[in-house]
């Protein structure tokens, strides 16, 4: 693989699902996975198979449905977790076990109640066991960004020796800042003797709003896999948002000469699908996928845009799959046209939410001659929120 190619590992279906209230059923997971595959995601983490029979079945169904992307499942460092995970993912032509163990002093003392040497042994054992079941094993040092450096180097070296192909260094609690996180990745590149046998990966949480910045800084320091989610969904304040990472790399190759395999024109559709299924409304001013991300309200900006789009636009709406304010709906449009419009906009809604949005659409169409895509998006967001 080209040395500047960044692997996109999407964890919307696993870490994203850990957002309180964002659980997805089997059909919904498969639907999202197929869209992620179509948009060119390299690795789809489909769930945590040991967590429940439902999650096992969902990961298994995703593994059966997806043919091109690698399907990963999460497993703690136990034989039970790892075996169950192998069973769930093996139907996919490319599959991966992602196993993890905490390495920070805080986590080892309070969560694991284990001494560092015992943790190190468990890293070796768990990775070797996973590797006896599948070829492609990823190992994560949970709370890696708060781990003591010498110990982290020893764990990473041991995980690679035991057969891990990808080493992930999560900023589990979103505590890192970009220069510090980049230095951590650079330290591993420089100090771990067998590091060139693995891909270094990052997994950043957004507690300080720095998940995307930290991920991009880490790539500059040598990481070549970014773990992220659609709309930045995930535990607490979420994970790094995939759409922001991908568009930042696409828009600023002068500062970040890295590529991904993502077909960015699918971004809007994926964002709306995930929002519709989870009921997590995207904030209007959210970068890339918020409904105002390409709206120009002030007269000065509108005037500038008419003269030359680049005056106030650093990327085109079309590049993320958003049609420029196409007006097609009005008060004569019926339910079927409305449903089909929703589909075009990437929404997959339940009957109640569609009906609610349709009633509001009719009310709006009575007051407003032209109903734009943005109006419909706003209606749906409200309907989803109330559902």
Q: Which residues bind Zn ion (CB under 5 A)?
A: 15
Residue 387 CA to residue 374 CA, distance in Å, equals: 20
Does 104 sit near ligand KIV (CB under 6 A)? no
Q: Is 203 annotated as a binding residue?
A: yes
Q: Is 194 annotated as a binding residue?
A: no
> DSSP letters along 268-292, please?
HHHHHHHHHHH--PPPTT-TTTSTT
- Kindly provide the b/e burial profile for residues 346-364, where b requires at least 16 CB atoms within 10 angstroms of the residue's own CB: bbbbeeebbebbbebbeeb
Q: Is 15 annotated as a binding residue?
A: yes
Stretch of 110-118, 167-175, 302-310, 335-343 contacting ligand KIV, by CB under 6 A? 167-175
Residue 289 CA to residue 377 CA, distance in Å, equals: 11
Q: How far is the CB of 204 from ligand KIV (least distance, A)?
A: 8
Q: How far is the CB of 32 from ligand KIV (least distance, A)?
A: 18
Q: How far is the CB of 233 from ligand KIV (least distance, A)?
A: 12
- Return the number of the residue (172 or 260) whose C-beta is nearest ligand KIV: 172
Exposed/middle/buried for residue 255 (C-beta within 10 Å: 0-12, 13-18, 19+): exposed
Residue 209 Ramachandran class (φ > 0 left, ψ -120 to 50 alpha, else beta): left
Residue 293 CA to residue 313 CA, distance in Å, equals: 10
Among all chains, which residue has been given the structure tokens 């997806």? 66
C-alpha torsion sign, points 285, 347, 37, 316: negative
Choose among Zn ion, ligand KIV, none what residue 103 binds, the Cβ cut-off being 5 to 8 Å by kind.
none
Q: Is 332 annotated as a binding residue?
A: no
Out of 17, 42, 81, 142, the only residue in the binding site for ligand KIV (CB under 6 A) is 142
Does 140 sit near ligand KIV (CB under 6 A)? yes
* Residues from 242 through 301 that contact ligand KIV (CB under 6 A): none
Please state, in angstroms and as integers, the Cα–Cα distance from residue 321 to each residue in 109, 181, 217, 272, 344, following that order: 48, 32, 27, 11, 11
Stretch of 152-160, 166-174, 257-265, 304-312 contacting ligand KIV, by CB under 6 A? 166-174
* Residues from 173 through 232 that contact ligand KIV (CB under 6 A): 203, 205
C-alpha torsion sign, points 135, 15, 211, 265: positive
Q: How far is the CB of 235 from Zn ion (least distance, A)?
A: 6
Out of 9, 100, 129, 151, the only residue in the binding site for ligand KIV (CB under 6 A) is 100
The tokens for 223 are: 């990481």
Choose among ligand KIV, Zn ion, none what residue 126 binds, the Cβ cut-off being 5 to 8 Å by kind.
none
| Torsion angle defined by CA atoms of residues 16, 17, 19 and 20, in that order, rounded to the nearest 10 degrees | 170
Q: How far is the CB of 203 from ligand KIV (least distance, A)?
A: 5
**39 HSE (CA, 13 A, CB side):** 29
Choose among Zn ion, ligand KIV, none what residue 375 binds, the Cβ cut-off being 5 to 8 Å by kind.
none
* Residues from 13 through 72 that contact ligand KIV (CB under 6 A): 15
Could you list the residues known to form a binding site, using ranges.
15, 203, 205, 239
Could you list the residues known to form a binding site for Mn(2+), using ranges.
15, 203, 205, 239
* Residues in contact with ligand KIV by the rule CB under 6 A: 15, 100, 140, 142, 168, 170, 172, 203, 205
């Amino acid at each position: 693989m080209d040395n500047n190619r960044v692997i996109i590992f999407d964890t919307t279906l696993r870490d994203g699902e850990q957002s309180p209230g964002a659980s997805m059923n089997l059909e919904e997971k498969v639907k999202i996975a197929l869209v992620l595959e179509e948009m060119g995601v390299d690795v789809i983490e489909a769930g945590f198979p040991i967590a429940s029979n439902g999650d096992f079945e969902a990961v298994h169904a995703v593994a059966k449905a997806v043919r091109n992307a690698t399907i990963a499942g999460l497993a703690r460092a136990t034989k039970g977790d790892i075996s169950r995970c192998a069973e769930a993912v093996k139907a996919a032509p490319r599959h991966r076990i992602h196993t993890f163990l905490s390495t920070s002093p805080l986590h080892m003392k309070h969560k694991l109640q284990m001494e560092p040497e015992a943790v190190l042994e468990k890293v070796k054992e768990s990775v070797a066991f996973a590797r006896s079941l599948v070829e492609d094993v990823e190992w994560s040092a949970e709370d890696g960004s708060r781990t003591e450096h010498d110990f982290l180097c020893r764990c990473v070296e041991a995980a690679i020796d035991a057969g891990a192909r990808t080493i992930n260094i999560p900023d589990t609690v979103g505590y890192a800042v970009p220069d510090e996180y980049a230095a951590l990745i650079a330290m591993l590149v420089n100090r771990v003797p067998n590091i060139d046998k693995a891909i270094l990966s990052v997994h950043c949480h957004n507690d300080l709003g720095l998940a995307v910045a930290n991920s991009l800084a880490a790539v500059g320091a040598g990481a070549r896999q970014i773990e992220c989610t659609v709309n930045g969904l995930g535990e607490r304040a979420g994970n790094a948002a995939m759409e922001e990472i991908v568009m930042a790399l696409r828009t600023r190759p002068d500062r970040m000469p890295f590529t991904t395999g993502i077909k960015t024109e699918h971004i809007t559709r994926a964002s709306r699908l995930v929002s519709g299924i989870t009921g997590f409304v995207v904030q209007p001013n959210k970068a890339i996928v918020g409904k105002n991300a390409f709206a120009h309200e002030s007269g000065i900006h509108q005037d500038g845009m008419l003269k030359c789009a680049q005056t106030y636009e650093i990327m085109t709406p079309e590049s993320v799959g958003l049609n420029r304010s196409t007006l097609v709906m009005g008060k004569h449009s019926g339910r079927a046209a409305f449903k089909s419009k929703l589909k075009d906009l990437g929404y997959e809604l339940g009957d109640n939410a569609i009906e609610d949005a349709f009633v509001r659409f009719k009310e709006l169409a009575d007051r407003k001659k032209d109903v734009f895509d943005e109006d419909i998006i706003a209606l749906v967001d409200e309907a989803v929120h109330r559902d």
